[in-house]
Amino acid sequence: MKKRIFALIGVFLLLAMYVSTMVFALIDSPRAAEMFRISLYCTIVVPVIIYAGMLIYKNAQDRKELPFDAPDPQGETSRTGDDEADERPDPSSAEK
């Protein structure tokens, strides 16, 4: 139910921004051009920021733990890239 309420609020705000942009484009006032630019900017930027926030929230909810902290199914902890260097043979001890 909360999602539907937030969606309706978002639709109302978007419609209000579109209407205000149209009104500022049509009125003849000394500050109309400035208000039109601000309204046009908000009409583009606000939905993009909302969409980015939703993507970040969705991806954050999908992850239970950070990948390098999560144990493997076999019970071992996962390894990071730094641990791989320990497994390589030492080049100075190689046979010549």
Q: State the angle between helix axes of 32-62 and 2-26 in degrees (0 to 180), rounded to the nearest 10.
A: 160
- Tell me the pTM: 0.52
Query: Which is nearest to 46 in space by CA: 67, 70, 66, 16?
Result: 16
pLDDT in tens, 12-41: 988 998 898 888 888 888 888 898 888 889
Judge residue 21's burial from the number of C-beta atoms within 10 Å of its C-beta, 0-12 exposed, 13-18 middle, 19 or more buried.
buried
Digit-coded pLDDT (tens) for 50-87: 888 888 888 887 776 555 655 556 755 555 555 555 55
